[in-house]
Amino acid sequence: MSDLLRRLRGRGWRMTSQRRVVAEVLDGDHVHLTADEVHALAAERLPEISRATVYNALGELVALGEVAEVTTDGRAKRYDPNAHRSHQHLVCSGCGLVRDVHPSGDPLADLPESERFGFTLSGAEVTYRGLCPSCGEPARDA
């Protein structure tokens, strides 16, 4: 059993076969699946699992802080199980590929008091945009 499943069970998360496969599908590094992708992968092991259940499970994992929700653009949210190590995202403007990155420096420290407008800050997300090695090569006709 993975660490994730062990942690969830330890926190009193009622374990069902559906929740198990969702958690298993999300296990690993550099995983950034959409809800539909999670559903498709889960359905390979448990064909009857419903979309609603996947959405429920993902929502709970996010609420528990085990998985982070990443909105890279106007498309579907992606779910990132690497929520315990603080990191940011590098997104390919061409194909949508997402990589975890670890910038130096703390963006929160870069926001002076005069620019906080009385807000109580809780965090900052940085999204780097660019072209991945495949998309960056000049397109070539056949």
- Positions in the binding site for DNA (CB under 7 A): 9, 13-19, 34-36, 46, 48-53, 55-57, 59, 74-77
The encoded tokens of residue 52 equal 């609603």
With 0-12 CB in 10 A as exposed, 13-18 as middle and 19+ as buried, what is 9? Answer: middle
Can residue 36 be called a binding residue for a second copy (CB under 8 A)?
no
- Interaction residues for a second copy, span 93-122 (CB under 8 A): 93, 99, 101-105, 107-108, 110-112, 115-122
Say which entry of a second copy, DNA, none residue 128 contacts (CB below 5 to 8 A, set by partner kind).
a second copy
Angle at 133 between CA 34 and CA 67, to 5 degrees: 25
Can residue 92 be called a binding residue for a second copy (CB under 8 A)?
yes
Can residue 1 be called a binding residue for a second copy (CB under 8 A)?
no
Q: Where are the alpha helices (DSSP H) in 28-115?
A: 35-45, 51-63
Give the largest CA-CA distance in the chain: 57
Can residue 83 be called a binding residue for a second copy (CB under 8 A)?
no
User: Phi/psi zone of residue 105: left (φ > 0), alpha (ψ -120 to 50 degrees), beta?
Assistant: left
Can residue 62 be called a binding residue for a second copy (CB under 8 A)?
no
The contact set with a second copy (CB under 8 A) reads 69, 71, 73-74, 77, 90, 92-93, 99, 101-105, 107-108, 110-112, 115-133, 136
